A and B are shown apart, each in its own frame.
Chain A
Amino acid sequence: DTAVSQTPKYLVTQMGNDKSIKCEQNLGHDTMYWYKQDSKKFLKIMFSYNNKELIINETVPNRFSPKSPDKAHLNLHINSLELGDSAVYFCASSQSAGGGETQYFGPGTRLLVL
């Protein structure tokens, strides 16, 4: 009964490939997020969806495209992968979109681009 799940947990791929990461939450939350955590452990917000609507779109290359088919799912597709995309990507969810809401994180997807 995992609250926020992500697949895959590990992803190793070649430069130039296209890959997707999937996220699902079973908490009934309205808001979902994608974060990137770099090698220095800094967590940076990438995107956020509230009720399937994009509400945060930080300065992220347009090779990254989020998709929210429903409130419980938020997927991240990455085109033309680059070496600098190597990082841990975390999905999170919160009850609503207020900035002070508790966020529940998934276990992360470790992406390594060779």
Chain B
Amino acid sequence: TQLLEQSPQFLSIQEGENLTVYCNSSSVFSSLQWYRQEPGEGPVLLVTVVTGGEVKKLKRLTFQFGDARKDSSLHITAAQPGDTGLYLCAGGRGDYKLSFGAGTTVTVRA
């Protein structure tokens, strides 16, 4: 059973459109991370959020951690082909482990 559920599983949009990826759980996390994985590569960290209600912006990417620290979202504004990849959320509960969601495959068409 996965601790973190991501939705949607696949997302295909046109360049310039906006998109949102969701990461939900019934468990509370002390921190939540978002990674992006490109084909043939390992995941690379985008952001870590640790405070309930926290919002972090990274250029066109906005990350939000839910007030109860059980969910998170990633919003991309004016998506570009370079945003194409597998987006993974991962939650830490202070027990050495990072639990990953199943990922959202995002394709941005030029």
Contacts and interface: CB of A to CB of B under 8 A. Distances in A.
B14 to A, nearest CB: 23
B55 interface: no
B88 interface: yes
B61 interface: no
Contacts of A106: 42
A45 interface: yes
Interface stretch (B16-24, B43-51, B76-84): B43-51
23 contacts: A41-B102, A42-B2, A42-B102, A42-B103, A43-B88, A43-B103, A45-B98, A48-B96, A92-B42, A99-B30, A99-B31, A99-B94, A99-B95, A100-B31, A100-B33, A100-B50, A100-B94, A101-B92, A102-B33, A103-B43, A105-B42, A107-B41, A108-B42
Contact of B97 (A41, A45, A50, A104): A45
B57 interface: no
A20 to B, nearest CB: 19
B63 interface: no
A55 B96 contact: yes
A101 B41 CA distance: 20
B99 to A, nearest CB: 8
Interface in A68-114: 90, 92, 97-108
Contacts, number: 67
A90 B41 CA distance: 9
Interface in B61-82: none
Contacts of B30: 99-100
A103 B45 contact: yes
B92 A99 contact: yes
A90 B42 contact: yes
B93 interface: yes
A56 interface: yes
